[in-house]
Structure 1
Amino acid sequence: MKKITMYTQPDCPPCEYAKTFLKEKGFELDLRDIQKDARARKELVQKYQCYSTPTFIIGETVIAGFDHDKLQEVLGF
């Protein structure tokens, strides 16, 4: 199963929906809260040039925002 790193933050409805959706599909998530973890926030901006949540890192693929179709395509379900 592919590793999914998910950048998230409190009070982010799309983040909560994405977490529920992916967990129901059986995926394990490496959650990184950008409000509680300054290192995660810096990594999201500097390494991935993203400023919003949710952002997903799956292998070399970066998905900014909860794009249901793109997640299905990348994860193969």
Structure 2
Amino acid sequence: MIVTVFTKPGCPPCDATKRKLDKLGVEYQSRDVTVDADALARVKALGYNGTPVVECGDVHWQGFSPDKCKQLADNLAAAQPVDEQAAIEYLEETA
């Protein structure tokens, strides 16, 4: 699932959001609304007037929210498919 962080330069909450997602290991694409007209249009279409805006599928929010970043990271981790062969090999090695 693609995570997008809509940002603008000189935005401390934007920087904090990206740092938190980085710390949680969440891969995301960053889109600057000051130079990307499509990004600005998307933010407005979601009903927001400021940054940061985080969007992943049907989930989106505005502002720096460490709790929502953590919940997103947890949900993404739970949605990852299990590599069954790797799991079998790991279990055989540790048996």
Instruction: Classify the TM-score, shorter chain.
Output: 0.7 to 0.9
Structure 1: tracts of 5 or more residues without a match? none
Identity among equivalent positions (%) equals 31
Q: TM-score, normalised by structure 2?
A: 0.70
Q: TM-score, normalised by structure 1?
A: 0.85
More helix by share: 2
Q: CA deviation at 1:61?
A: 0.6
Tell me the equivalent position of 2:41: 42
Whether contact under 8 Å (2:7, 2:53) holds in the other structure is: yes
Tell me the equivalent position of 1:31: 30
Structure 2: tracts of 5 or more residues without a match? 76-95
Number of residues paired by the alignment? Answer: 75
1:68 aligns with 2:66: yes
Query: Deviation per CA, 1:43-71, whole angstroms, max 9, x where unpaired?
Result: 2102x111111100022111111111122
